[in-house]
Chains A and B, each alone.
Chain A
Amino acid sequence: MTGCEAIRELSQSYLDGALAPEECERLERHLRGCPACRRVMATYRLLYSALAAPAIPTAPPWLVTATLARVRGAARRRRVLQALVMAAALFVVVSSVSFLAWGGLLEAIPTSADVAASVASWRAAVDAASGLAGSLTCAAGDLAGSVGAGGSAAAVLAVALAAQLILAYRWRRLASLEGSHSIGGPQ
């Protein structure tokens, strides 16, 4: 950067009110002896005063109301989403507890044919519940992005993960039960 270019940068900082006193002195000294930089300084002054009066239209008065209406709509949608997610979480919890409680009944079924049929229907149910728990995990992620929903998201995520663990356990139990009957297990 040449001397005059550096002075132009100082000139702008001076007009911004961001120049240290010693730099001000340096600028003034240079301007006293350099007509070209004095001219540039004068045009900067004109430019700054023009920039301070921009031709930007004012925002219409209804914009605040419209903005708030849009935010209100988003808040309503978020509350509905939260309610849905919480309902789904409750459903998953109830389903998981039911799977655990009824597990013993399944294992008490006497014949291999009965076990095969029961295992197939249980497997479909576990699959469906696992899908629901997976969706719940994703919903918790989305919810975490919403304002004021951090706690709810963490709760939903914890429920969904617990449900997934329980369902995975049930899946293994079903598989082992099916295996033991297919190789001539208890009748």
Chain B
Amino acid sequence: MIEQKGDAVECPDPCTELVRAARAGDEAAFARIVGEHQRAVFAIAYRMTYDAAAAEDLTQEVFLRVWRKLDTFRLGEPLKPWLLRIATRVCINALKKRRPAPMATVGDEETEPLEVPSTQPDVSETVAQAEAAAHLERAIAELPDDYRLIVTLRHVEELSYEEIAAALELPLGTVKVRLFRARERLRRLLAPILGDQR
């Protein structure tokens, strides 16, 4: 089965203690929850909006909602899927009001590639990787919202099928079908780059 690499998933008990402490008003405990999950929430918010400022706002909104709903969290369950369920709801609601910034279609040579943080020593390799990543992001931006979300939860947050189903409140079968279709669509969109002409 899929390995569960999510930080919150590996430590259900400490998370329970953190939530218990945060409920009791321990600000440091809530700060730890924010610190541990902020990257994941921001990544989802960014993928759904493609706007860093909007993603920052949404991230804050998500944690405000998390704080208000701490009493509804079932102690003993993994925190991350519960938290990401709130994050996806907040992002989807925000998307209904505000569509993502239009992105260039795959293969559009006139547009600037997305900025990609670089730590690679080889400049040409770095440029090639950045271009490939930019193409990939453009292709992901072309996916419907629910496909984009599910791909992000699987490949960025590394959630298992079961955790995705819990986070999105979807049947397991629906998760598998959507993931398959999303990746199949990406494969077709990126066929020239991936070297597959079919």
Contacts and interface: CB of A to CB of B under 8 A. Distances in A.
A40 interface: yes
A3 to B, nearest CB: 15
Given A47-B186, A54-B137, A55-B114, 16 more contacts: A16-B2, A16-B154, A42-B196, A50-B190, A51-B155, A51-B186, A52-B155, A56-B43, A56-B47, A63-B42, A68-B31, A71-B67, A74-B64, A147-B71, A148-B23, A150-B71
A47 B116 contact: no
A171 interface: no
A55 B25 CA distance: 37
Contact of B1 (A17, A43, A54, A66): A17
A62 to B, nearest CB: 9
Interface in B4-32: 23, 25, 27, 30-31
Interface string B118-160: 0000000000011011101100000000000001101110001
Interface residues of B, number: 59
Contacts, number: 133
Mostly, the A contact residues are helix
Chain A, interface residues (CB within 8 Å), range: 35 or more
Interface in A48-66: 48, 50-60, 63-64, 66
A70 interface: yes
B192 to A, nearest CB: 11
B98 interface: no
A43 B191 contact: yes
